[in-house]
Amino acid sequence: MSEEFLIEVLQKEYDAYCQKIRPSEETYRFHTRRHDDGSQHLEIWGDKYHLVVTERGSELERFSTGSKEEVMYRLLSAITFEIASDYELKNRIEGRDFRRMLFAKQVAFMREANPEWAERLAKEIARIVKSYPYNDDE
């Protein structure tokens, strides 16, 4: 299969998941070319998927896998984080660590897409909070 065909298939699947999270008349799309703005884009070479983060001409991060499911999980983690961040900013509670609402909403959005992925995300967030506990003003 061609890389263009694989990307088209992934785009359709990604949009279907995103429509479960936040229905829209527009199609949800992920980047397939570098933007050098700190955002990630997807590259496909042979049987490997590569999620690449670039900024100002430098590659900051690269995740490679042969698993379509893993790529989809990571793409959805990014979009749910973005949507949850927007929600938290509009609904911020003074004196509370902003991550409480952000993480809870991100997991809730992910649950709409895929409950198993939501559980995985919740475990990842628990590890983050264990290392970097919430800091609420008292």
- Determine the Cα–Cα distance for residues 77 and 69; give it in Å rounded to an integer: 12
Confidence of residue 91 (pLDDT cuts 50, 70, 90): very high
pTM of the model: 0.91
For residue 136, being part of any structural domain is answered with no
For residue 100, being part of any structural domain is answered with yes
Percent of the chain with pLDDT over 90: 89
Mean pLDDT of the chain: 95
Q: pLDDT of 34-78, one tens digit each? A: 999 999 999 999 889 999 999 999 999 999 999 999 999 999 999
Domain span including residue 56 = 3-131
What confidence score (pLDDT) does residue 42 get? 96
Poorest-pLDDT segment among 16-25, 95-104, 121-130: 16-25
The number of folded domains in the chain is 1
What confidence score (pLDDT) does residue 27 get? 87
For residue 61, being part of any structural domain is answered with yes
Residue found by looking up tokens 């499911």 in the block: 69
Q: Sheet containing 37-45: give its strands across.
A: 37-45, 48-55, 58-65
Confidence of residue 138 (pLDDT cuts 50, 70, 90): low
Q: Does the structure show a pLDDT above 90 at 11? A: yes
For residue 101, being part of any structural domain is answered with yes
| Beta strands per DSSP E along 33-82 | 37-45, 48-55, 58-65
For residue 137, being part of any structural domain is answered with no
